[in-house]
């Protein structure tokens, strides 16, 4: 996102860049302070990240806030969809912890990607 901004291909407000930098730092600190993360299967991660991506895409067409909300809803629905699969229902990981450990980084990442896409579409 920073490279695209510096290339002058798109305009991204400095306050938005600061907001997403702080969000990334918060995720990094939480990740470092978590003593032991529960293992989540790769399939579960794919469902959650895929849901965040699919939720972000329509939001890009609607606007900035809708993009973030769509990404959150998509990640949550991806988590639910994974939990309804046979392997997801057998998994012993806590649903709320999984949402925080996998869903929040997915939402932040997809929102930053969507912000870059918004810059290209608006340009």
Q: Quote the pLDDT of residue 71.
A: 95
Sign of the C-alpha dihedral computed for residues 16, 8, 123 and 59 taken in this order = negative
Q: Quote the pLDDT of residue 52.
A: 95
In whole angstroms, give the CA distance from residue 88 to residue 111. Answer: 26
Q: Quote the pLDDT of residue 37.
A: 67
Cβ within 8 Å of residue 56, ≥6 positions away: 67, 70, 71, 74, 110, 111, 113, 114
Cβ within 8 Å of residue 9, ≥6 positions away: 119, 120, 123
- Give, for all 123 residues of the chain, the pLDDT tens digit: 666 666 666 777 778 888 888 988 988 888 788 776 667 788 989 999 999 999 999 988 888 889 999 999 999 999 999 999 998 888 888 888 888 888 899 999 998 888 888 877 775
């Amino acid at each position: 996102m920073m490279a695209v901004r510096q290339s002058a291909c798109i305009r991204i407000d400095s306050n938005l860049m600061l907001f997403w930098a702080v969000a990334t730092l918060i995720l990094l600190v939480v990740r470092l302070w978590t003593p032991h993360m529960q293992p989540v299967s790769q399939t579960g991660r794919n469902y959650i990240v895929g849901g965040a991506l699919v939720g972000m895409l329509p939001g890009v067409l609607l606007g900035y806030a809708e993009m973030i909300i769509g990404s959150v809803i998509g990640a949550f629905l991806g988590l639910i969809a994974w939990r309804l699969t046979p392997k997801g229902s057998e998994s012993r990981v806590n649903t709320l912890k999984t949402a925080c450990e996998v869903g929040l980084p997915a939402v932040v990442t997809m929102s930053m990607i969507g912000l870059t896409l918004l810059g290209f579409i608006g340009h």
